[in-house]
Amino acid sequence: MRKIVLTFGLIAGAILSVMMLITIPFHDQIGFDKGLIIGYTTMVLAFLMVFFGVKSYRDNVAGGSVTFGRAFVVGLLITAVASVCYVATWQVVYRELAPDYLEKYSAYALEKEAASGATEAQLAKKRQEMAEFAEMYKNPLVNIAFTLLEPLPVGLLFTLVTAGVLSRKRRVEGTALA
């Protein structure tokens, strides 16, 4: 199981990491809204590896049959490996390649608020919230936790669907075992 988890998890992690590294230099041209779409589309494509990994486990290790629980565990481990790759890449990008990312995001968020008709008081409140978040985000553990929250729900969803689709009960002489 370890080989399958690492293989498919690292493939998914590589997809996530490479796409992040490709898009970050063009972030000013892409923008935050399109960047969000590109990022989550990449996550969907990367987490297809959960399906292929669980299928490989079922077909090559488990003898063609896997329970929902075992499929879920394999998928969750693949998701964990891919998510760790994503977080590690972001830590390098944030610290070395885009240290001004949070300032740019804050400016974007304030601009978006102003465009939606926010009052000066609302803008001041938003500025304060963004400043507090920026201060909190300097803590590496907080940064890691927030970054992990980006791919994890997508991977978890893929894991649940994959476990449901690929789990099979073993059949002996035409009857299902409990």
DSSP label at residue 178: -
pTM of the shown model: 0.85
Q: Supply the mean pLDDT for the chain.
A: 90
| Residues 167 and 71: beta-carbon distance below 8 Å | yes
Residue 140: C-alpha distances to residues 13, 65, 67, 90, 148 (Å): 20, 42, 38, 11, 12
Q: Which amino acid is at 132?
A: E
Per-residue confidence (pLDDT) for residue 98, from 0 to 100: 86
Q: How many CA atoms lie within 13 A of 37 on its CB side?
A: 4
14-36 mean pLDDT: 89
High-pLDDT (> 90) share of the chain, %? 66
Per-residue confidence (pLDDT) for residue 169, from 0 to 100: 59
